[in-house]
Amino acid sequence: MDLHAPLGRERKQGGAKRRFRAAPMATFTAAILLLGFSTYTAWQPLPLSETPPVTLADDRTASATGEIAGGEAIFDDSRILQTARPQSGANVERVVTDDGNVVTTFKPNSRDGSGPLLIDTRAIGQDPRLAARPNEDLLEETPEGLLPVVAADGLRPVDHYARPWSGARGARIAIVVGGIGLSQTGSQRAIRELPEDITLAFAATGNSLTRWMQEARQKGHEVLLQVPMEPFDYPANNPGRGTLLTSETDADNLANLHQAMARMTNYTGIMNYMGGKFLSNEKAMDPVMRDIADRGLLFLDDGSTARSLTGGYGKALGMPYAFGDVLLDGQLNREAILNKLDELERIARRNGQAIGIASAFDESIDAIAEWRDEAIARGIEIVGVSAIATENER
């Protein structure tokens, strides 16, 4: 110790040394505290993330006060909590089991018209991605095979398999090309070369109907099933096996009808193949038309006989039905068919709608494909035949 040093100098120097040593110690201590706090908070969840336990007491309290999220509490006992959700149209019931678990059950509620509008997209035509596959709700198993039927919810084949259209009130034309399945070459050309808005009618007596139907539906065509019916000059003019005859019993004609129906699926309705005599016979027509109507199908009369009873049955049964207006290919040459198509257009412009009937001949396919593009350019809408048949139903 320097006795000659100024008073307080050694104390000053010693104080500086102590502050210099204390600084690292304070930093180290702060780091330890910060690390410890971080570790603590990492292992402890924040209060906002905690989910309060669900207990029966909570449910009872909520039920008593009516404070149920998304609905109004209706009643409560010691084990059941029921709520109504008016926006979804559902009753929600929560039951507490003996082991303390909560079982939630959703039940439909009758609507009073104030809830949201539910749109059934199935009634606006089939999804094109599934067009080649039948809707199982629209089929029933019978001894004859799978037959079309109205679904439990009221959906009909004529609505589900229909080709969608614009709904505009301009001139509308449906063109039906029949005889698909009778000739492989003709069937292939019709399906692959005709535009998708042309309706195709498959002969029940044809071959490989399911294969042709699937290709046609994938392309976008609406399809019908042609059923052979007795003409006036039968048997000199024979439509083929399974012909519906005026001389047969109701049971036999229905059996033949069902065998024809089971040949394929995904069609919107039935079309006659020949059948002038059968269509004009009330006794023979009655059970057949009733069966077609009950199955949710349309009936297209090719218009070949003025004595047909189709219109009377269509109105009486409240079913979709229609008549062909023009036979397009009575003469098999291009110019004659184009002239008939022009006549069809005049009828459509006068009446708002018209239906042309043709067969899958090369001349018919070529003329229809050519004329169709020109007609669309003139403002004509080409629709599936169901668009006209269901309009007649209404």
C-beta of residue 244 within 8 angstroms of C-beta of residue 289: no
What pLDDT is attached to residue 48?
A: 44
The predicted model gives 162-187 an average pLDDT of: 95
What's the structural domain count of the chain? 2
What pLDDT was estimated at residue 95? Answer: 74
What confidence score (pLDDT) does residue 29 get? Answer: 62
| Residue 161, pLDDT score | 96
**289 within a domain of the structure (yes/no):** yes
Label residue 109 exposed, middle or buried (CB < 10 Å: 0-12, 13-18, 19+): middle
Distance CA 222, CA 376 (A): 18
Same domain, 285 and 182: yes
- Whole-number Å distance between alpha carbons of 320 and 330: 27
Residue 243 belongs to a domain: yes
Give this prediction's pTM.
Answer: 0.70
| Two tokens, residue 242 | 């399974």
Whether residue 379 contacts residue 385, with contact meaning beta carbons closer than 8 Å, is answered with no
Residue 132 has pLDDT above 60, yes or no: yes
Sign of the alpha-carbon dihedral angle for 78, 80, 83, 84: negative
149 assigned to some structural domain: yes
Q: Yes or no: say if 291 and 144 are a contact pair by the CB < 8 Å rule.
A: no
Residues 153 and 301 occupy one common structural domain: yes
Alpha helices in the chain (DSSP H): 9-43, 56-65, 157-160, 184-193, 209-219, 250-261, 276-279, 282-294, 310-317, 334-351, 362-377, 385-393
Do 242 and 193 share a domain, yes or no? yes
- With a pLDDT cut of 90, the percent of the chain lying above it is 65
- Beta sheet of 102-108, edge-to-edge order: 72-76, 80-85, 90-96, 102-108
Average pLDDT over the chain, rounded to whole? Answer: 82
33 Cβ neighbours under 8 A, 6+ residues apart:
none
Q: How far apart are CA 252 and CA 254, in angstroms?
A: 5
11-25, 181-195, 351-365: least confident range: 11-25
- Summarize the confidence of residues 319-342 as an average pLDDT: 98
Domain check: are 154 and 190 in the same one?
yes
**pLDDT interval class at 15 (50, 70, 90):** very low
Quick check: is 86 in a domain?
Answer: yes
Residue 7, domain member (yes or no): no
Q: Are residues 208 and 325 in the same domain?
A: yes
| pLDDT band at residue 271 using 50, 70 and 90 as cut-offs | very high
Q: Domain with 137 in it: what CATH number? A: 3.20.20.370
Whether residue 207 is contained in a domain is answered as yes
**Residues 92 and 145 occupy one common structural domain:** no
357 and 239 together in one domain = yes
**CB atoms inside a 10 Å sphere around CB 189:** 18
Domain span at residue 83 reads 56-108
What pLDDT does residue 241 have? Answer: 95
Structure tokens at 30: 């702060």
Confidence of residue 127 (pLDDT cuts 50, 70, 90): confident
Q: Sign of torsion, CA 387 201 131 344?
A: negative
CA distance 55 to 57: 5
Tell me which of 85-94, 170-179, 374-383 is least confident: 85-94
Residue 17, in any domain of the structure = no
Least confidently predicted of 43-52, 119-128, 228-237, 372-381: 43-52
> Quick one: which of 300, 304, 317, 259 has its CA closest to 277?
304
- Distance between CA atoms of residues 155 and 196, nearest Å: 24
Please report, rounded to a whole number, the percentage of residues in the chain having pLDDT higher than 70.
Answer: 70
For residue 11, name the pLDDT band (cuts at 50, 70, 90): very low
In contact, 174 and 382? CB cutoff 8 Å: yes
Indicate if 204 and 335 belong to the same structural domain. yes
Indicate the pairing of strand 223-229 with strand 269-274: parallel
**289 vs 17, more confident:** 289
Same domain, 84 and 230: no
pLDDT at 316 over 80: yes
- Is 1 a domain residue? no
Give the residue with greater pLDDT, 213 vs 39.
Answer: 213
Confidence at residue 98, expressed as pLDDT on a 0 to 100 scale: 73
